Structure 1
Amino acid sequence: MPLQAIETRRLYRQIADQLREAIERGEFPAGTRLPPERDLAAQLGVSRPSVREALIALEVEGRVEVRMGSGIYVREPDAAGARAALHEAESPLETIRARQLIEGELAAYAALHMKRAQLTGLREAIALMEDEARHGQVPTGGDRLFHTRIAEASDNSVLLRLVGELFDERRNPLFEQLGNHFENPRSWAIAIAEHRAVLEAIAQQSPQAAREAMALHLANSHERFMASWPAEAPPKAPRRPRSTA
Structure 2
Amino acid sequence: MTRLVRVPLADQVADVLAERIRAGEWPLGAKLPGETTLALQLGVGRSTVREAIRRLAGRGVLDSRHGAGVYVTALDAPEDWDQVLRRADIVTVIEARTAIEVEAAMLAAERRTPADLRAIRGALLARDESGRSVEDHVDADTALHRAIVVAAHNEVLTEMFDGFTARVRRAMVNMLRLRPVADEKMDQDAHAMLVDAIVARRPHAAAQASREHLSALKAGFA
TM-score by length of 1: 0.52
3-state SS in 2 of match to 1:135: coil
State the partner residue of 1:196.
192
Residue in structure 1 matched with residue 96 of structure 2 by the alignment: 98
Distance verdict in 2 for CA 1:191–1:164, change over 3 Å: farther
1:51-130 mapped onto 2 (5 Å cutoff): 61=1, 80=2, 82=3, 84=5, 88-130=86-128
Q: What's 1:147 paired with? A: 145
1:183 to 180, 183, 186: 180
Q: For residue 14 of structure 1, what is the aligned residue in structure 2?
A: none
How far apart are 1:183 and its partner, in Å? 1.4
The structure-2 alpha-carbon separation of the partners of 1:165 and 1:107, relative to structure 1 and needing over 3 Å to count, comes to same
Q: Give SS of 1:225's match.
A: coil
* CA shift for structure 1 position 146: 1.1
Deviation at 1:164, TM superposition (A): 2.2
What residue number does 1:7 align with?
none
1:206 counterpart letter in structure 2 = R
Distance 1:103 1:222 in 2: 14
Q: Give me the whole-angstrom Cα distance separating, in 1, the residues matched to 2:146 and 2:87.
A: 22
Contact 1:104–1:215, Cα closer than 8 Å, also in 2:
yes
8 Å contact kept, 1:114–1:153: yes
* Structure 1 residues 187 and 165: alpha-carbon distance in aligned structure 2, compared to 1, 3 A threshold: farther
CA separation in 2, counterparts of 1:200 and 1:137? 27
Mark the structure with the bigger radius of gyration: 2
Secondary structure class of the residue paired with 2:205 = helix
Percent sequence identity over aligned pairs = 22
Counterpart position of 2:164: 166
Moved more, 111-120 or 188-197: 188-197
Residue 145 and residue 176 in structure 1: after superposition, are their counterparts in 2 closer, same or farther (change >3 A)? closer
Change (3 A) 1:93 1:168: farther
Contact 2:107–2:203 under 8 Å retained in 1: yes
Looking at structure 2, the residues matched to 170 and 188 of structure 1 have their Cα atoms a distance apart, in angstroms, of 22
Question: Could you say if the C-alpha distance between residues 192 and 166 of structure 1 is closer, same or farther in structure 2, counting changes exceeding 3 Å?
Answer: farther
Question: How far off its partner does 1:89 sit?
Answer: 4.5
Does 2:207 align with 1:217?
Answer: no
Task: Supply the distance in 2 between the matched residues of 1:83 and 1:93 (Cα, whole angstroms).
Answer: 23
Q: 1:176 to 1:153 in 2, by over 3 A?
A: closer
Q: Tell me, in whole angstroms, the C-alpha distance in 2 between the residues paired with 1:217 and 1:180.
A: 19
For 1:90 and 1:118, the matched residues in 2 are separated by: 32
User: Contact 2:107 / 2:152 at 8 angstroms: preserved in 1?
Assistant: yes
Distance in 2 of aligned mates of 1:183 and 1:95 = 17
CA apart distance, 1:115: 1.0
Instruction: State whether residues 127 and 144 of structure 2, in contact with CA within 8 Å, keep that contact through their aligned partners in structure 1.
Output: no
- Tell me the matched-pair count: 143
Question: Equivalent residue for 1:208?
Answer: 204
Q: Once the 2 structures are TM-superposed, how far is the Cα of residue 200 of structure 1 from its aligned partner?
A: 0.6
State whether residues 92 and 169 of structure 1, in contact with CA within 8 Å, keep that contact through their aligned partners in structure 2.
Answer: no
Q: Return the alpha-carbon distance in structure 2 between the equivalents of residues 210 and 176 of structure 1.
A: 26
1:135 matched to 2:131: yes
**Unaligned 5+ runs, structure 2:** 7-81
Find the partner of 1:157 among 144, 155, 158: 155
